[in-house]
């Protein structure tokens, strides 16, 4: 019995921190669209490509013990390179990029891996004194796991230092919400972002 208790305690020490939660924000898509695939730079049926710096984001979804979470549903949305959301209530005066998909719904594979192509989101004014840094919104869902809504940030962005949401987090939490630049493929910048889901409490 003692060894079992000790083993459980040791497992808890080794458990990964779940990815921190964050506000959904006001611009979750409200109008359904046909194209929600993993390439946000190209809309099916459109000739043009999205403007801005094209990037690829890949990573894995695991549980707190490092086990891959397959078939997890990732709901991804973001502003375009101009800082404008494809949302009727976005009052930003920046021009909407009509060639940017803005929203993707994808699943992890049997190794918990995911990948999508998008653009570096533009910064935008959240208020008269607050400009949000580039970020991507994600909702992750899988039965038997706690659903997660979070925001992914990019390294070396000056606006990160002043963001009211990001700076409510501890340095450790901030690092867990930060993508990592891992290389370049032609003109594409490659980022890694891993997500940890907590088990659903019964």
pTM of the predicted model as reported, rounded to 2 decimal places: 0.92
Give tens-digit pLDDT for 64-89.
999 999 999 999 999 999 999 999 99
How many C-beta atoms surround the C-beta of residue 159 within 10 A? 16
In this structure, are residues 147 and 163 in contact, taking their beta carbons and an 8 Å threshold?
A: no
Give tens-digit pLDDT for 19-60.
999 999 999 999 999 999 999 999 999 999 999 999 999 999
Query: pLDDT value at position 142?
Result: 97
How many C-beta atoms surround the C-beta of residue 100 within 10 A? 28
CA angle at 46 for the pair 44 and 52, rounded to the nearest 5°: 100
> Does position 5 have pLDDT exceeding 90, yes or no?
no
């Amino acid at each position: 019995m003692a060894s079992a208790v000790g083993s459980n305690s040791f497992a808890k020490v080794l458990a990964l921190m779940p990815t921190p939660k964050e506000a959904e924000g006001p611009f979750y898509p409200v109008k359904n669209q046909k194209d929600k695939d993993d390439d946000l730079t190209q809309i099916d049926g459109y000739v043009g490509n999205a403007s801005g710096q094209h990037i690829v984001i890949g990573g894995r979804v695991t549980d707190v013990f490092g086990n891959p979470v397959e078939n997890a549903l990732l709901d991804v949305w973001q502003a375009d390179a101009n800082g404008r959301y494809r949302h009727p209530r976005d009052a930003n005066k920046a021009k909407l990029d009509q060639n940017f998909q803005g929203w993707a719904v994808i699943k992890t594979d049997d190794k918990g891996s995911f990948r999508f192509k998008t653009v570096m989101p533009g910064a935008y004014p959240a208020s008269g004194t607050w400009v949000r840094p580039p970020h991507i919104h994600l909702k992750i869902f899988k039965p038997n796991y706690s659903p997660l809504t979070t925001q992914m940030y990019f390294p070396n962005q000056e606006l990160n230092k002043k963001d009211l949401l990001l700076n409510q987090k501890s340095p450790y939490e901030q690092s867990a919400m930060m993508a990592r630049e891992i290389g370049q493929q032609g003109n594409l910048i490659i980022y890694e972002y891993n997500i940890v889901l907590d088990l659903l409490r019964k």
